[in-house]
Amino acid sequence: MKTNRNIANLSNEELFELYKNGRQATYFHELYRRYIPMLYGLCLKYFGNEPDAQDAGMDLFESLNEKIANYEITNFHSWLYTVAKNHCLLKLRNEKRAFFVNIDETVVENSDFFTLLDEEKTNDKKSALEFCMNELGEEQRKSIEFFYYENKSYADIVDLTGYTLQKVKSYIQNGKRNLKNCIIRVLKVRL
């Protein structure tokens, strides 16, 4: 077994491989320790305050140890960033908090469609939403159902469907746009 001094000298890739092969917590703890600043900064962007960001970081640490074994990860840094982002979004969504984030991607989850799912709907809106969901292509419909109705993360949807991460993001974004346009069209016809 490696000593702490030797572990600190290992690259991220070496630590990840050792953890995957032996499932020894020491390797995972060292790897996570190296990413705490990035994860904390990301959580702080989403939550806007230190206590909530720290809580989210700790929750993430606890869940990662289990998740890591279930994924084929080729780029740990990118995978961790995506999992952390999805964790924050899911936590915010579950708390039904309004949030504003300035990130490169216009976050797919923060749009007009999102409010369609959360607000009280009239019978017309409910039936329009149901009709339009059935009008979507299978990939878009599945991705939206998993993401919005079942609270699955992008990574979860990739695992469940076999679609690539980029495809999942695209299906959700395009599906939302198509759904919104369809709902507007259906509601205008009914007026």
Under-50 pLDDT residues of the chain:
1-3, 98-119
pLDDT computed for residue 5 by the predictor: 52
Residues 19 and 113 in one domain: no
Residues 174 and 81 in one domain: no
Residues 98 and 139 in one domain: no
pLDDT computed for residue 140 by the predictor: 92
Total domains in the chain come to 2
Q: What is the CA radius of gyration of the chain?
A: 20
pLDDT computed for residue 159 by the predictor: 86
Residues 16 and 46 in one domain: yes
Residue numbers of the domain that contains 141: 108-191
pLDDT computed for residue 91 by the predictor: 84
Residues 63 and 141 in one domain: no
Which among 71, 104, 137 is the end of a domain?
104
Residues 129 and 91 in one domain: no
Residues 34 and 90 in one domain: yes
CA distance 154 to 26: 28
- Tokens matching residue 35: 């990413």
The reported pTM is: 0.47
Which among 83, 104, 125 is the end of a domain?
104
Residues 21 and 46 in one domain: yes
Residues 190 and 161 in one domain: yes
Q: Say if CB 53 and CB 43 are below 8 A apart.
A: yes
pLDDT computed for residue 130 by the predictor: 85
Q: Say if CB 181 and CB 129 are below 8 A apart.
A: no
pLDDT computed for residue 114 by the predictor: 41
Instruction: Find the CATH number of the domain harbouring 176.
Output: 1.10.10.10
Instruction: Find the CATH number of the domain harbouring 11.
Output: 1.10.1740.10
Residues 86 and 51 in one domain: yes
- Tokens matching residue 110: 């923060």
Q: Where is 153: in which H helix or E strand?
A: none
